[in-house]
């Protein structure tokens, strides 16, 4: 039976998490409004703001279009056609997620231009990516997996009776795809598109390396170079408004969507489409995508790695790897620990308080990392100055930002763990904590592990929070890749980029393998105590 009130032992950490997300953002607003009238008007009505808004919206909308043009055909090939091996198609659609955008940007910059990998190996001076088109291309290559995973799952789950009914009514295959399949994919597309939009809105590394001005790039420049904290606070608020508009738009488009199967019984398997003469064209598409998203970046890293002979770089690599893995491990534990109360309250409790705690926690993930880091900087300097640029503040930032990412797998596990098992344990003499520890936690252990792995991978790749909040002298793989790439020292950045890409690939494969395992059998209720 679903609880109407969340247990106090889980409600308190959930409320503390919500406070940790909301208080820095509230202080960011106070900081922005602290300017005097004349300065405030000059900041708000600055023409530069409209340019940044237009660039940000143009890049976000264009990335959604290009990622759809890449992810939808690949998902359809993997889910509905006889193109094999299917595992190779899945790897082509998922592994680019292991390469952070700034590593992809580093690889493309190092491969192109005078003295780049392409010119050295082929003699062709391939122009380097820059501006809007460079940012669009790189963001497309390394964010389309968010959309691919959702579309592939939806295509595999669709009841073929829907398409069969359309064909019986005289629709052609193209009309059936347009009028039946595409509307069915709308929820999956909206979910993946929201993740991509949030990523593009919050990205500053790719757009900075491509020299394309957006809100995020301007925030970083104003805070680190111009030291204009008031204007950077206003830019962060502007970015928050754009992010909030994206969330509201997604919620509005999702409203009223009910896509149930036609047949009341079990769904039949999806019919496999034979490609025939189109098979070479399909493989050419997959090969081109794999080459651009995987082979070129990894090959470029390998090429520049041969040129890095400085022994101090390898010693620094080991230190950066230990720092990155250690911070990611600690953040994975703390984030999963705070995500469990939120997921439990969201799946077991009812009422406005339960809904508020779960939705407010998502605000930390929806807030662009630079804006969230800036809010924590202002808040810590005002409330607890000794905390500024310390390791605990960095872990706190990781935890609050990624806690919503960890809620999903845990809540999915809780949805399959019926509350009746807890009730049975209570009837057999167990306390609430005993039932939770002996029944619920063992049952949702796979969800906890997936959540921790998600957070570990995200923290390992994270850059904006680390740049603004990390202690002095604290080096990570991401920070060193950014620092060397910004100075065009591609050989020095290669070891860190390779370590980051390989670590991300291993974690991505482990997450995929764990998520495709069958669900564990529910444990037996504990015996009655004497």
* CATH code for position 85: 1.10.3720.10
In a domain, 181, yes or no: yes
Bridge partners for 273 per DSSP? 81
In this prediction, residue 1 has a pLDDT band, given cuts at 50, 70 and 90, of very low
- What DSSP string runs through 171-237? --HHHHIIIIIHHHTHHHHHHHHHHHHHHHHH--HHHHHTT---HHHHHHHIIIII--HHHHHHHHH
Residue predicted with more confidence, 219 or 167: 219
Residue 55: is its pLDDT beyond 90? yes
367 part of a folded domain: no
Give the bridge partners for 81, in sequence order: 273
Of the pLDDT bands very low, low, confident and very high (cuts 50, 70, 90), residue 135 is very high
Dihedral pair phi/psi, residue 123, rounded to 5°: 80, 0
In which domain, by residue range, is 110 found?
Answer: 46-256+279-304
What is the per-residue pLDDT across 12-24, written as a single tens digit (0 to 9) for each?
A: 888 888 888 888 8
Cβ-Cβ contacts under 8 Å for 132 (sequence gap 6 or more): 55, 58, 59, 62, 210, 212
Does residue 375 lie in a domain region? Answer: no
Question: Does 156 reside within a domain?
Answer: yes
User: For the chain, what is the domain count?
Assistant: 1
Token pair 């295959």 is found at 173
In 3D, which of 268, 233, 275 has the Cα closest to residue 83?
275
Tell me, yes or no, whether 329 lies in a domain: no
Gap between the Cα atoms of 204 and 397, Å rounded: 17
User: For residue 519, what pLDDT is reported?
Assistant: 46
Residue 470 · residue 394 · CB < 8 Å: yes
Domain membership flag for residue 250: yes
Least confident of 214-228, 291-305, 368-382, 446-460: 214-228
Mean pLDDT for all residues in the chain: 81
**What are the tokens at 237?**
């608020």
500 lies in some domain: no
Give me the pLDDT at residue 22, please. Answer: 83
Give a yes or no: residue 64 inside a domain.
yes
- 272/4 Cα distance (integer angstroms): 46
pLDDT tens digits along 61-103: 999 999 999 999 999 999 888 888 888 898 899 889 888 888 9
- Percentage, residues of the chain above pLDDT 70: 83
pTM over 0.85: no
């Amino acid at each position: 039976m679903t609880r109407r009130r969340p247990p106090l032992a889980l409600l308190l950490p959930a409320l503390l998490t919500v406070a940790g997300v909301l208080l820095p953002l509230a202080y960011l607003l106070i900081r922005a409004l602290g300017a005097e009238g004349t300065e405030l008007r000059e900041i708000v009505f600055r023409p530069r703001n409209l340019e940044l808004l237009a660039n940000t919206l143009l890049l976000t909308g264009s990335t959604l279009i290009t990622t759809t043009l890449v992810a939808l055909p690949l998902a359809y090939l993997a889910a509905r056609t006889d193109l094999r091996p299917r595992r190779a198609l899945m790897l082509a659609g998922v592994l680019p997620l292991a390469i952070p955008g700034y590593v992809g940007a580093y690889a493309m910059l190092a491969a192109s231009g005078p003295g780049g990998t392409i010119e050295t190996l082929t003699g062709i001076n391939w122009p380097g990516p820059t501006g809007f088109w460079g940012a669009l291309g790189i963001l497309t290559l390394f964010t389309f997996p968010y959309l691919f995973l959702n579309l592939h799952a939806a295509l595999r789950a669709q009841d073929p009776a829907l398409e069969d009914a359309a064909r019986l009514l005289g629709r052609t295959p193209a009309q059936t795809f347009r009028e039946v399949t595409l509307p069915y994919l709308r929820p999956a597309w909206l979910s993946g598109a929201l993740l991509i939009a949030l990523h593009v809105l919050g990205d500053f590394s790719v757009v900075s390396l491509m020299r394309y001005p957006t809100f995020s790039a301007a925030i970083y420049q104003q805070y680190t170079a111009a030291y204009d904290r008031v204007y950077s606070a206003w830019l962060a608020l502007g970015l928050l408004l754009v992010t909030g508009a994206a969330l509201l738009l997604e919620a509005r488009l999702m409203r009223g969507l009910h896509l149930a199967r036609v047949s009341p019984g079990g769904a039949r398997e999806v019919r496999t489409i034979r490609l025939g003469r189109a098979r070479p064209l399909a493989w050419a598409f997959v090969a081109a995508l794999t080459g651009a998203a995987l082979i070129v970046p990894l090959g470029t890293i390998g090429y520049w790695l041969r040129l890095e002979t400085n022994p101090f770089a390898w010693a620094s690599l080991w230190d950066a790897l230990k720092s990155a893995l250690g911070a990611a491990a600690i953040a994975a534990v703390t984030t999963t620990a705070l995500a469990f109360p939120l997921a439990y309250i969201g799946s077991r409790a009812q009422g406005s308080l339960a809904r508020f705690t779960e939705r407010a926690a998502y605000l930390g993930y929806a807030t662009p990392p630079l804006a969230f880091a800036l809010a924590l900087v202002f808040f810590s300097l005002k409330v607890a100055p000794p905390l500024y640029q310390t390791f605990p503040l960095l872990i706190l930032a990781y935890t609050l930002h990624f806690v919503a990412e960890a809620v999903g797998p845990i809540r999915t596990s809780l949805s399959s763990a019926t509350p009746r098992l807890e009730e049975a344990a209570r009837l057999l003499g167990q306390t609430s904590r005993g039932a939770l520890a002996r029944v619920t936690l063992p049952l949702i252990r796979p969800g906890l592990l997936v959540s921790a792995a998600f957070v570990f991978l995200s923290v390992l790749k994270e850059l904006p929070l680390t740049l603004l909040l990390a202690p002095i002298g604290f080096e990570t793989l991401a920070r060193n890749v950014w620092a060397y790439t910004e100075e065009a020292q591609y050989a020095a950045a290669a070891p860190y980029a390779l370590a980051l890409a390989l670590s991300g690939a291993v974690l991505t494969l482990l997450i995929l393998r764990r998520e495709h395992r069958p669900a564990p059998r529910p444990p037996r209720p504990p015996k009655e105590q004497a």
